[in-house]
Amino acid sequence: EISSLTGEVKGELRIAVVTTAKYFMPHLLGVFVHRYPDVEPRLFVTNREKILERLEEAQDDLLIMGKVPEELEVDATPFLDNDLVVIAPPGHRLAKKRAISLKQLLNERFLLREPGSGTRLAMDKLFKEEHLVLEPYMELGSIEAIKQAVMAGLGISVMSEHNLRLELDSGKISVLDVKGFPLRRHWFAVHASSRKLSLVAQTFLDFIRDEGSAILHD
């Protein structure tokens, strides 16, 4: 019976997410906790490198990241699309151009995440595949700082569309039409294969897999 099962889903739920996931994870937790009021969520936010350390140290029930680690034995469940886009201030001279090449982008001042960031890793890889070297004009350790810097006209950047909802809606940031973008990635919920999930963690995993995308795109 649903009601008796609901009552059993309780206790701590420890989730660690990469910084880019902090924009949507509270919304999923909000719905989940409403359904299972006795769950005590703990949300830890940091970059990919630190998330991988936490995974090795088994500090969390589930970890949310943009790329499955190859070096560790894990179970990974994709649950949401993650489109990376190239962003510029509105009125940027490339804003009206179509099919901009990666090479053309190299003339721009790039605002990049810190080494250790999964977004940074994806960017470096993309340019490397085209035999191009992406030189940061500035490295910033936070998405908020990058967004502010883009709006201030300091340069262009790349980030997950999930992180830009408010700025795109209000027209404060523009998305450039660059070949190969949006770069489609996925969000994965990951845990060490050796770890048996608690009932709460398993219920949350099923929930984000089955309903996450619909909840966030509403």
Q: Are 182 and 161 in contact (CB under 8 A)?
A: yes
Q: From the CB of 218, what's the least distance to ligand PGA, in Å?
A: 23
Per CB under 6 A, contacts with ligand PGA among 87-126 are: 113, 117-119
Q: 14 or 67: whose CB is closer to ligand PGA?
A: 67
Q: From the CB of 5, what's the least distance to ligand PGA, in Å?
A: 33
20, 157, 163, 203: which one binds ligand PGA (CB under 6 A)? 20
Q: How far is CA 180 from CA 3, 126, 131, in A?
A: 47, 9, 15
Q: From the CB of 192, what's the least distance to ligand PGA, in Å?
A: 17
48, 92, 162, 191: which one binds ligand PGA (CB under 6 A)? 48
Q: 41 or 66: whose CB is closer to ligand PGA?
A: 66
Binding residues for ligand PGA, per CB under 6 A?
18-20, 47-48, 65-67, 113, 117-119
